[in-house]
Chains A and B, each alone.
Chain A
Amino acid sequence: MAEINRRTGGFGAWLLDPKRRGALLVTPAIVILFVMNIFPLLWSFGLSFFNYKASSLKVPTFRGLSNYERVLTDEKVWERFQTTAIIVGSSVILQLIIGFLLALMFAKAFPMRRIVLMLVLTPMMLSFVSVGVFFKLFYEPTFGIVSYLLSAFTEDRFVVLGSPAGAIAGIVIADAWMWSPFVMLLVLAGLVSVPKYLYEAAEIDRASSLRRFWTITFPYIKSLLLLAVLFRTIETFKLFDIVYIITEGGPGSSTETIAVYLYRTAFQFFKTSQSSALAYIVLFIVVVMTNLYLYAVNRRAEEVG
């Protein structure tokens, strides 16, 4: 058909010329990307230099870098970064430990392995909202299952979310429950890629289990572990849904992550410019972490290659 058009000439033929076909195919995707992503990004970047509130009719005025200065000198912002760091650190460590242990378990054959593996993978396929609601109900002290089970050992109802430490632990457990299977998948991929003959040789050499792990297994999985750490750090850094549903940032502001604070600033307080500045600071951090991630991916590719 294209051949006929080309021969007969006209706009259709011009458009379908092989020289333009590639550009034609990617244009819709680029247009959508620009409208839905690039333009809002640039627009909000511009807004971050103005004094603008989306809820106000006042004309925006140029403020230069003062929104960035205000955000970076705001104690609340640094508190939220601190809270985020605690949650990210605890959650990623827990995910690594659980994910690693699960991977070791699933690296060996056992009855009903496939079914159990499928069940273990289920949490990461659920939506954040569902996981948040599950755990909020689990932690509910009057009728929740955690309080109910622990009531056998405590005289009073056990209140998980009643203290800052408990609330952070509650969020970390929910996040780790959801994402440990992801870490497990990555580690499992590393474990199954270890050539069997290496273990056989180690066994002949009577190497201990620990030595076998450090000299054979670990080198194969370390870059995947690094990938898991970076990927989960980036994702947990942006954690919003689970926190908002389980604690709404409470008690007080003790579990308010930077993402929740950003949301409040933008959509509850309507400090549009200030929230844009904060969003760009968060984006910068995520971009740095993503570059580290890409570096790790490339290193892994080189290793495998």
Chain B
Amino acid sequence: MRTFISGLLGATTLAAGLTGAPILAQDITITMAAPDWPPTRFMKEYFDQTYKSPNGGTTTLDMDFIPWPSFYERVAASLTSGEQKYQMIVTDSQWLGAFVEGGYYLDLTDKINSDPELKAITQDLHPALVSAYSTYPHRTRAQLEAAGEVPAPGVNYYGFPQFPDTYVTYYREDIFCHEGEMADFKAKYGTNLPCSYEDWQDTDWAKWGQVGEFFQRKKGEMLAGEKLADDFYGIAFQAGKGYDFSTMQVNAFVWQNGGDIWDESKAPKAQAEGVVNSKAAVDAFDQYLSYLQYMPPVAQTGQMDIFVIQDLYMQGKVGAIIDWVGLGEPVLDPKSSTVHDKSAFGPAPGTRKGDGSIDRTGNIGGQPFVLTTWNSDAVVDEALNVVKWWLSPETQLEATKNGGQSGRMSVMADPSYNGLRPWNRAHVEMIDWQKDVWHIPEFFEMLTQQQEEFDKAITGQITAQEALDSVAEFQQELLEDGGYID
């Protein structure tokens, strides 16, 4: 087994502490697989500046920054090849099952139970994040809360939030708060154009569609008092075939509409057929598809992923987008964004219920980090020290100031939190609505087939009903074969 303890530094040093117990001062290098984006770049930078190992030695965090599009393949190839390169991994929550079953991710349940500091951190984490980022077999937030204690008995915990992410609305304040546009919108639809944060809190999908239709303008037409040099589009959200780019948004529509995906927390009773393609789910998918007409034409190719949306928004071609908070920093950077000084943020739209409230249930984003099973005890202990450092309130606040987010409820409750970044208020509001997609090892097969069927519907080859029927049939067969359905 390859160890990443680079060596013992000098002889054993006796602790100067009260216990008099000998502490081994070791120099440890932790190699971490991480997607290449601001939240992980900041972690590395801040670690190098501030981290002091409690064991007295020197700890190096060697981040292997991997571009997002190849992140899964690179991590999966490394794990399955047996090279044992990484001590920690920033992982998507969906991968938990595949890599726990593969024997690569370390079960941290005993560590959490035996370490008061880790236990306190876990208790302070938002339950939606614990459910999505840590539990395998997957336990829903409701199941964890019903247990009445944290960590819940009989539940296995694997990860801690590296970057908890939610999707929020990015919008052009200069056009949404333009008096002329507001008056025209009111005259056309008899309702207000959302301008303030509070307006977005009251924005449902119906208004989202109106916004899309209203701001769809041709080159040469006027927008907020200026003649357009190019076509302009009202809205955009995820509609991409790659990875999980349409699933993440479609799931929100399905859940909000009373439909469901196959619920692994209810296996082996939960079914796919009749659930995935229920009338509620089909109606919800139809509603999702109906908004594509107001989006940039790339939506018709099924290639409108989270980066394309961000790019089009930064180029000033779209009025409002729904995208992850983690992609917000470049939007505010004058070097990369033409709308850096015109952007504001609000919660994502949702479905209005009978009592007038809005359901914003959505699919959680972001990533936990996990430890790998081949680490020595010393590396495991030091990696958990890194976890404690990252999730300490001071580091979490600093990370939030620099484009990150916190998963700790006490940090999010800090009065200064919402003001640290312009999207924080929306993020805090949205995080309470988050659920997650499947965590079982077969997730990629299910996801890929679903993405293909969604893509066919998005590009107009099949209907929503046909797409969901195909998804349900495929999942039913796969899950029955895998023993997940009786």
Show the binding face of A for B, using Cβ within 8 Å. Answer: 54-57, 139-143, 147, 156-157, 159-164, 167, 247-254, 264, 267-270
Contacts and interface: CB of A to CB of B under 8 A. Distances in A.
Given A55-B441, A161-B303, A142 B297 contact: yes
Contact of A269 (B241, B315, B444): B444
Contacts of A250: 241, 301-303, 452, 455, 459
- Which of A54, A141, A167, A252 has the most chain B CB atoms inside 10 A of its CB? A252
Contacts of A147: 297
B334 interface: no
Contacts of B317: 142-143
Interface residues of B, number: 39
Contacts of B302: 250-252
A160 B79 CA distance: 38
23 contacts: A55-B80, A55-B98, A55-B102, A56-B441, A140-B298, A141-B300, A141-B301, A142-B296, A143-B315, A159-B298, A159-B301, A163-B459, A249-B452, A250-B301, A251-B456, A251-B461, A252-B453, A252-B455, A267-B77, A268-B72, A268-B76, A269-B444, A270-B80
A162 to B, nearest CB: 4
A270 B76 contact: yes
A141 B441 CA distance: 36
- Give the secondary structure class of B's interface: helix
B455 A162 contact: no
B481 to A, nearest CB: 12
B48 interface: no
B197 interface: no
A143 B101 CA distance: 44
A57 B300 contact: no
Given A162-B460, A252-B456, A268-B444, 17 more contacts: A54-B80, A56-B101, A139-B301, A141-B301, A142-B296, A142-B298, A142-B317, A143-B315, A159-B298, A248-B241, A248-B303, A250-B302, A252-B241, A253-B452, A268-B73, A269-B442, A270-B98
A243 to B, nearest CB: 12
Most interface-central of B76, B303, B445, B458 (chain A CB within 10 A): B303
A232 B76 CA distance: 32
Contact of A251 (B231, B301, B442): B301
Contacts of A139: 301
Contacts of B241: 248-252
B57 interface: no
Interface in B349-407: none
Given A162-B459, A251-B241, A267-B77, A55 B300 contact: no
Interface string B428-465: 00000000000001101100100011011011111000
B210 to A, nearest CB: 21
Interface string B69-100: 00011001101100000000000000000110
Contacts of B455: 250-252
B297 A164 contact: no
Given A251-B455, A269-B448, A159 B300 contact: yes
B101 A57 contact: yes
A132 to B, nearest CB: 12
A7 B297 CA distance: 81
Given A250-B455, A252-B459, A156 B297 contact: yes
A290 B443 CA distance: 38
A248 B69 CA distance: 11
A274 B218 CA distance: 51
Given A56-B441, A248-B241, A251-B459, A264 B298 contact: no
Contacts of B233: 142
B38 interface: no
Given A55-B98, A159-B301, A252-B453, A267 B73 contact: yes
B242 interface: yes
Nearest to B456: A252
Contact of A164 (B72, B98, B99, B461): B461
A253 B80 CA distance: 27
The 7 closest A-B CB pairs, nearest first, are A252-B456, A251-B459, A141-B297, A54-B80, A161-B301, A162-B300, A157-B297
Nearest to B233: A142
Contacts of A160: 301
Contacts of A167: 301
A56 B445 contact: no
B103 interface: yes
Contact of B102 (A56, A249, A268): A56
B312 interface: yes
A110 B73 CA distance: 50
A58 to B, nearest CB: 9
Interface string B112-143: 00000000000000000000000000000000
A164 B460 CA distance: 10
A289 to B, nearest CB: 28
Contacts of A157: 231, 297
A254 B241 CA distance: 12
A160 B317 CA distance: 20
A253 B448 CA distance: 10
Interface in B300-336: 300-303, 312, 315, 317
Contacts of B301: 139, 141, 159-162, 167, 250-251
